Amino acid sequence: MEHGTAHGLTSQMRVVTQLTDDPTVTGGPPAGQSRIWRHLQPRLSQQARRGFQTCNPTLHSVAWPTTGLGTELLQRHRQGQADLVHLHWLGDGTLSIQEIGRLPMPLVWTLHDQWAFCGAEHYTSPPLSGETGSSDERFAEGYSPASRPGHEAGPDLNRRTWLSKRLAWSRPIHIVCPSNWLADCARRSTLMGTLPIKVIPHPIDLNVWAPCDQAQARALLGLPANRPFVLFGAIGGGADPRKGADLLLEALRRLRSQVAGTPLEQLELVVFGQSRPAHPPNLGFPIHYTGHLQDDLSLRLFYAAADVMVVPSRQEAFGQTASEAQACGTPVVAFSTGGLVDVVDDRMTGCLAEPFDPASLAEAIHWVLVDPQRRLKLGMAARQRAERLWQPARVAGLYADVYGQALKSGFRNRHHTPFLR
């Protein structure tokens, strides 16, 4: 959402790294933080993870020690600059667990992953081959020593971090999740199961992410005009098992055999956000690697140039690239899992495959590509759905309601009750 004034509310955004010249956004280290502490804090955080071993490749954050940002927010509150704090993604170097617990003003927290109700892990272990969901349910069981996965060794970092949250967070927080899947996980968690939890999708700028002529997009990008194109986003995720690149490659190998002797055998793949690897996979058809894209316009052109966007993730809190592609009028194929179930309307704006079956994914891609008229209808419906659900003004109104509820509940240091089960 845009920051400034909307719905009678004035907002300011505080970030660690500032990438915009928006005057309502401020970045940099917390006010009053010494240069020595700035260098010492990440080393202490790293020391806290020493000896911990896990096969879960996701980021792990202990959110310790204090960063000083909590003190800065408290000062803003005392100066009348902050009646409410809206948290977004947090990890090491932002706010510590203890700083969150000491904030006295009403809190709204939009979850972008599972860290808030888990231990140190930002996502539970991704599903293994043949599984339809994660076998790691410690967030629902309470991180007992008996529930520790066998692939972990050393200090139980996740239990220790979860216990820190349990001790520090004894006051109500209004939780917002971008998908029903993430909200369901939060409701099942022992840490946040009794909190008010609302589902509000991420907004997208529908002027930036908008349809444009496919032929023109391909001409500008130097792509052939008469070939079917599949698009995959590998920004920071090509080697991340959560993003499912391995499942996509297997699906495309199956699809290659399926379309032999048909017009779809001229299929080509575009991978954005990744440079050409030293040993690219041999799929039997061309693969175009875009490298790092510098601006949204370039990505919009790739969305428009594609016939279908594939998001083969095993875990996804929402699916931002899936929503952007649909806003650009491009159908999306994904597994029927996580936040993607909310983003893709099956057989209306794309197609959802059986988790995590490459054969089903191949069939879903084929279903979208084989009928050009159906594909066009899917794309038009995708744009209409984006306008209906992800319009920033609509999302801002939903958040205004949550803010009102949080403010009515009073400051968090008054009449609070523990929210732990």
Question: Where do the domains of the chain lie, and which CATH numbers do they carry?
Answer: 5-203+392-408 (3.40.50), 214-389 (3.40.50.2000)
Question: Looking at 21-30, 98-107, 160-169, which range is the least confident one?
Answer: 21-30
Residues 251-292: pLDDT tens digits? 999 999 999 999 999 999 999 999 999 889 999 999 999 999
Q: Report the pLDDT averaged over residues 180-186.
A: 98
pLDDT category, 414, cuts 50, 70, 90?
very low
The answer on pLDDT for 17 being more than 90 is: no
Return the pLDDT at 384. Answer: 99
Return the pLDDT at 144. Answer: 96
Nearest CA to 127 among 361, 409, 356, 421?
356
pLDDT category, 132, cuts 50, 70, 90?
low
Q: What tokens were used for 230? A: 């599949």
Q: At 21, is the secondary structure helix, strand, or coil?
A: coil
Q: Tell me phi and psi for residue 395, to 5 degrees.
A: -65, -40
List, in sequence order, the alpha helices (H) in 189-228: 214-221
Return the pLDDT at 240. Answer: 84
The answer on pLDDT for 1 being more than 70 is: no
Distance CA 230, CA 55 (A): 31
Which class for 313: exposed (0-12), middle (13-18), buried (19 or more C-beta within 10 A)? buried
Q: pTM above 0.85?
A: yes
Residues 139-156: pLDDT tens digits? 999 999 999 999 999 999
Distance CA 338, CA 113 (A): 11
What is the pairing mode between strands 332-335 and 308-311? parallel
Distance CA 256, CA 265 (A): 7
Return the pLDDT at 420. Answer: 44
Query: Tokens 């009794």, residue?
Result: 194
- Look at 280 and 34; give whichever has higher pLDDT: 280
Q: Report the pLDDT averaged over residues 150-175.
A: 97
Which residues, 6 or more positions from 397, have their beta carbon under 8 angstroms from its beta carbon?
Answer: 7
Return the pLDDT at 126. Answer: 86
Residues 310-353: pLDDT tens digits? 999 999 999 999 999 999 999 999 999 999 999 999 999 999 99
